[in-house]
Amino acid sequence: MELTLDRLTKQFGARIAVDRVSVTLTPGVIGLLGANGAGKTTLMRMVCDVLRPTGGQILLDGSDVADMGVEYRSLLGYLPQDFGYYPDFTALDFMLYMATLKGFGKRDGRERSMQLLEEVGLVDDARRKVKTYSGGMKQRLGIAQAMINDPQILVLDEPTAGLDPKERVRFRNLIASFAQDKIVILSTHIVSDVEFIANRILVMRQGSFVMGGSLEQLVARAAGKVWEFHTDARRADAMAACMSAANVRHASDGSAVVRVIAGERPTEGAVTVEPTLEDLYLLVFSDATTDGRA
């Protein structure tokens, strides 16, 4: 299975939200990484046929999805940033409703609903009204409903918003297992969401992909541009404010270690260190480079 975005463009008035994006996606987890406003949500809404492109096309195995209509939408699972739910429904009622919309019979729909509620850790709360749920519980319910039809293409827009660290681990394990033979597009600005499970990462800035590849390939782009140096704790914050600082670690002895993103040695005594995906993210979305392309 191949999902191809061919020069995909979306314009709102004079503003270009997505600018001639081209990429071919195959099964696995594709992490779409970018700052808020980079165009991720607009791109995903076009992939899900919620928005029609201004230009370009989306192809599934060579067929234009605009011509496939219901056939294409039946293959999709989608979790938008703010998914709608009926507050007076219980979680089970909501899942059964979604199962009915996807064409499940009553028995199969209940079985599938309970299976997914168990997988996202909500089976014990299945008969509670959704309006009583915490933000994290509602988000887990959103993940479950997106997977109700065992979609071939699963699109998740900021899926871990509101989840605590334990819930994030559960989510990552669930998606990694689910994505073995399916295309999962996971949009986020939280680096750890994609760092551990994405087979491929696409970095989006100002409506375009500025780089893409495996975690190792992307992190290598920041090699030689990540520095650390020791300084007095009283000077650390002031120095960090003048640089593109990734982190400042204060020690109990009054010293500090400052981690900086820079194309050249930022101060005497600074040494290069192994970069991380977060370092690359800061490199792309900071003034450390003139064009944001690392």
Q: What is the pLDDT of residues 94-134, one digit of tens each?
A: 999 999 999 899 999 999 999 999 999 999 999 999 999 98
Q: Rounded to the nearest 5 degrees, what angle is found at the Cα of 123, between the Cα atoms of 138 and 150?
A: 75
Q: What is the pLDDT of residues 14-71, one digit of tens each?
A: 999 999 999 999 999 999 998 888 999 999 999 999 999 999 999 999 999 999 999 9
Cα-based distances in Å from 212 to 19, 32, 221: 16, 9, 11
**173-182 mean pLDDT:** 86
DSSP output for 219-286: HHTTTTSEEEEEEEHHHHHHHHHTTTEEEEEE-TTSEEEEEEE-SS--STT-EE----HHHHHHHHTS
Give the range among 80-89, 116-125, 228-237 with minimum mean pLDDT.
80-89
What's the pLDDT band for 159 if we cut at 50, 70, 90? confident
The predicted structure's pLDDT at residue 171: 85
Please tell me the pTM assigned to this model.
0.86
Residue with the two structure tokens 């919309």: 101
Q: What is the pLDDT of residues 194-207, one digit of tens each?
A: 888 899 999 999 99
The predicted structure's pLDDT at residue 286: 74
113 versus 85: which is more confidently predicted? 113
